[in-house]
Amino acid sequence: MEEKNKINLANSKAIFVLRIVTMSFAILTCVVVATAMLTRWIMDLNRKIKESNTKMAKAEARIDKFRKSRVKHILNQRKKQLKEEKAEKKRQEFENGKKPGEISSGEAAEDLDELEELDELGEIMLEELEDQV
């Protein structure tokens, strides 16, 4: 009887150890599966973020290009307008009896100052747009 008790005791200890080992493997399997799933999820998320960043960067580049072209267009329109105003002034002075070359030095200086300010303004605006990029 004592031998049966010893055998039963040995069997119960072996079964207990097997249960612990089996449970350890089950826990390890769960951890590995969870880690693999999280890794895949993180990699997918990272890929989506990179794709959205490139799309945003492309859109931003297009917007900046449009802004720059718009600023240049506006500056060119203003220069044309100033030239037309100057030509109109000359025409009116000619009609009023002055010679075309008799434009006062003050008016010529004002025209030059306005053109220089316009060029400086255009350069400043373009620099600001480039700094924003």
Tokens representing residue 26 in the block: 């089950």
Tokens representing residue 75 in the block: 């500056």
* Backbone dihedral region for residue 103 (phi beyond 0: left; psi -120 to 50: alpha; all else: beta): beta
Q: What is the pLDDT of residues 36-84, one digit of tens each?
A: 999 999 999 999 988 888 888 888 888 888 888 888 888 888 888 888 8
Q: What is the pLDDT of residues 101-128, one digit of tens each?
A: 555 555 666 666 777 777 777 777 777 7
Number of residues that make up the chain? 133
Question: What contacts 78, CB < 8 A, 6 or more positions away?
Answer: 118
Report the predicted TM-score, pTM, of the whole model to 2 decimal places.
Answer: 0.43
How do the domains of the chain map onto residue ranges?
Answer: 2-132
Contact status, residue 67 vs residue 129, Cβ threshold 8 Å: yes
Helix 2-95 / helix 105-132 crossing angle, nearest 10 deg: 170
Q: What is the rounded radius of gyration, in angstroms, for the C-alpha atoms of the chain?
A: 42
